[in-house]
Amino acid sequence: MNTSVSHNQRVLSGMRPTGLLHLGHYHGVLKNWIELQHSYECFFFVADWHALTTHYENPSIIAQSSIDMVVDWLAAGVNPGSSTIFIQSRVPEHAELYTLLSMITPLGWLERVPSYKDQQDKLKDRDLSTFGFLGYPLLQSADILIYKAGHVPVGEDQVAHVELTREVARRFNHLYGKEIDFEDKAQVAIKKLGKKNAKIYNDLKKRYQEQGDGGALSVGYALLSSQQNISLGDKERLIGYLEGGGRIILPEPQSLLTASSKMPGLDGQKMSKSYNNTIALRESPIQIEKKVKTMPTDPARIRRTDAGNPQKCPVWQLHQVYSGEDLKNAIIDGCTTAAIGCVDCKQHIIDAILTELKPIQRRAKDYQDDRSTVESILNAGCEAARDVARDTMEEVRKAMGITLR
Nearer to ligand TRP, 16 or 205 (CB): 16
Per-residue interface string for the shown chain with ligand SF4, residues 156-185, x marking contact by CB under 6 A: ------------------------------
Q: Which residues of 271-303 are buried (b: 16+ CB within 10 A; e: fewer)?
A: bbbeeebbbbbbbeeeebbebbeebebbeebee
Binding-site ranges for ligand TRP (CB under 6 A): 12-16, 47, 50, 140, 143-144, 152, 154, 158
What is the spatial distance between Cα 254 and Cα 237, in angstroms, rounded to a whole number?
Answer: 20
Length of the chain: 405
Q: Closest Cα to residue 145, out of 111, 172, 107, 109?
A: 172
Nearer to ligand TRP, 12 or 85 (CB): 12
Per-residue interface string for the shown chain with ligand SF4, residues 317-346, x marking contact by CB under 6 A: --------------x---x----x-x--xx
What is the spatial distance between Cα 369 and Cα 119, in angstroms, rounded to a whole number?
Answer: 37
Strand partners, 13: 44
Contacting ligand SF4 (CB under 6 A), which of 50, 205, 247, 301?
Answer: 301
Sequence-ordered list of residues with C-beta below 8 angstroms from that of 60, at least 6 positions apart, any chain: none
Q: Is the dihedral of CA 145, 150, 152, 158 positive or negative?
A: positive
Sequence-ordered list of residues with C-beta below 8 angstroms from that of 98, at least 6 positions apart, any chain: 135, 138, 139, 141, 142
Residue 75 binds: one of ligand TRP, ligand SF4, none (C-beta under 5 to 8 A by kind): none
**Mapping DSSP to helix (H, G, I), strand (E, B) and coil, where does residue 22 land?**
strand
Residue 335 binds: one of ligand SF4, ligand TRP, none (C-beta under 5 to 8 A by kind): ligand SF4
* Residue 316 in the binding site for ligand SF4 (CB under 6 A): yes
Q: What are phi and psi of 147, to 5 degrees?
A: -100, 5
Nearer to ligand TRP, 72 or 243 (CB): 72
Contacting ligand SF4 (CB under 6 A), which of 14, 135, 265, 310?
Answer: 310
How many whole angstroms from its chain centre is CA 291? 30
Residue 315 binds: one of ligand SF4, ligand TRP, none (C-beta under 5 to 8 A by kind): ligand SF4
- Minimum Å distance from CB 294 to ligand SF4? 12
Contacting ligand SF4 (CB under 6 A), which of 47, 85, 313, 388?
Answer: 313
What is the spatial distance between Cα 378 and Cα 333, in angstroms, rounded to a whole number?
Answer: 50
List binders of ligand SF4 among 370-389 (CB under 6 A). none
Nearer to ligand SF4, 336 or 373 (CB): 336
- Minimum Å distance from CB 157 to ligand TRP? 7
A 10 A CB-CB count for 9 gives 13
* Residue 308 in the binding site for ligand SF4 (CB under 6 A): yes
List binders of ligand SF4 among 269-298 (CB under 6 A). 297-298
Nearer to ligand SF4, 279 or 345 (CB): 345
Residues near ligand SF4, by CB under 6 A:
297-298, 301, 308, 310, 313, 315-316, 331, 335, 340, 342, 345-346
